Chain A
């Protein structure tokens, strides 16, 4: 309220949910939809071009592409799923990691500055695909009833405890874990973008509308915005990594022989 009183005119409208709902560019097409298609094109084209002429001894460009692939393949997929079964899932993990990474990084790329995963529809789309994969894999490996048994009755627990444990495990595996997967990246991107908006727009408001005394404070606000952009970059990479790791982990758990 103090800030409002000190301001020369106009009121500060803090950024909120509405900041994520931009007017459509044309028809139903909105900025996030364009961005998500763009991200798929970027990732797809990059790895198409980068892998066109692979050498046994990689050059710089090939090394960079291979580094990302190697990270998804060995550090995420192989370590989580296990060296025996991870091969069919390399592409999925690799795709999830790179796709989410690019979409998240859109949040701090100048002019784009919109983390598409902050619109829950996209995490949900990924979640649907991952959900289908995890449980298809599980049912295939253990059989229909076998998979339920695998999920709901982990070994090494006293029998009466199963009364409590079985439904919890069921909800955990079929609802909470995968839902949390989608919500986690959504919430992180949403909140991160909101914080950046608060500091950027707040600084802008202070600079344009604030009294002479308040104008310098906008520097602090912008400085925070820049600082938090770096923090955001870290979080964006981390969230992409977490999504891929957890997906691989769930696949690994679904495939595991004895829980």
Chain B
């Protein structure tokens, strides 16, 4: 036991490094570092790099696609708005045109009806005057005939007869004038 204690005190001190261990430890670790720096680290870093590039590339592509989609959407929206405006414009035009046509038709119809009415009135007036003339002549002859039958004397005198009949008819006219003007 004592012998052992002495031995420990002599050579085995745990905090005194053995030079061989320092040297071997240093060399072994240096060699390891060399291998790691030369091969392992660059290889790992390369993969990291590729990976981050891949991810960044993916993100860039996604952003690009999104921008493209946005652009297309804007385009579609613009086109849609344009189409709507166009449609509205066409509708307005059509409406205006329709209105115009309607107005034209209406005025034409008005004209036509006015024309027809005036024509009818003129015709009516002509027929009326013709009827009046005929009636007057007829009535005159009838009256004269009747008068000559009653009076017994021939009222051959044209001038007198005409004068008498006309006067009579004028009186008749004057008497019925208010009713005829109201009828027309």
A182 to B46, CA, bound (A): 33
Cβ of B28 under 8 Å from chain A:
yes
Please give the distance in Å from A125's CB to the nearest CB on chain B.
Answer: 3
Binary contact track B24-50/A, C-beta < 8 Å → 1, others 0 = 111011111101110111011111001
- Assuming the contacts A47-B36, A92-B33, asked whether A121 and B21 have C-beta atoms less than 8 A apart, the reply is yes
Asked if A99 and B51 sit within 8 Å, CB to CB, the answer is: no
The number of residues on chain B lying at the interface, defined by a beta carbon within 8 Å of a beta carbon of chain A, is 40
Please give the distance in Å from B35's CB to the nearest CB on chain A.
Answer: 4
- Assuming the contacts A37-B24, A124-B17, asked whether A48 and B12 have C-beta atoms less than 8 A apart, the reply is no
Asked if A47 and B39 sit within 8 Å, CB to CB, the answer is: yes
Residues of chain A lying within 8 A (CB to CB) of residue B22: 121-122, 124-125, 128
Please give the distance in Å from A50's CB to the nearest CB on chain B.
Answer: 8
Please give the distance in Å from A244's CB to the nearest CB on chain B.
Answer: 13
New A-B pairs, 11, CB < 8 Å, besides A43-B32, A95-B36: A17-B13, A21-B11, A36-B25, A40-B28, A40-B29, A56-B54, A69-B44, A94-B40, A121-B22, A124-B22, A125-B26
Contacts from A to B (Cβ < 8 Å): 11, 13, 16-18, 20-21, 28, 30, 32-33, 36-37, 39-40, 43-44, 47-48, 50-52, 54-56, 66, 69, 73, 90-92, 94-95, 99, 118-122, 124-126, 128-129, 186, 190
Contacts from B to A (Cβ < 8 Å): 1, 4, 7-8, 11-26, 28-33, 35-37, 39-41, 43-47, 50-51, 54
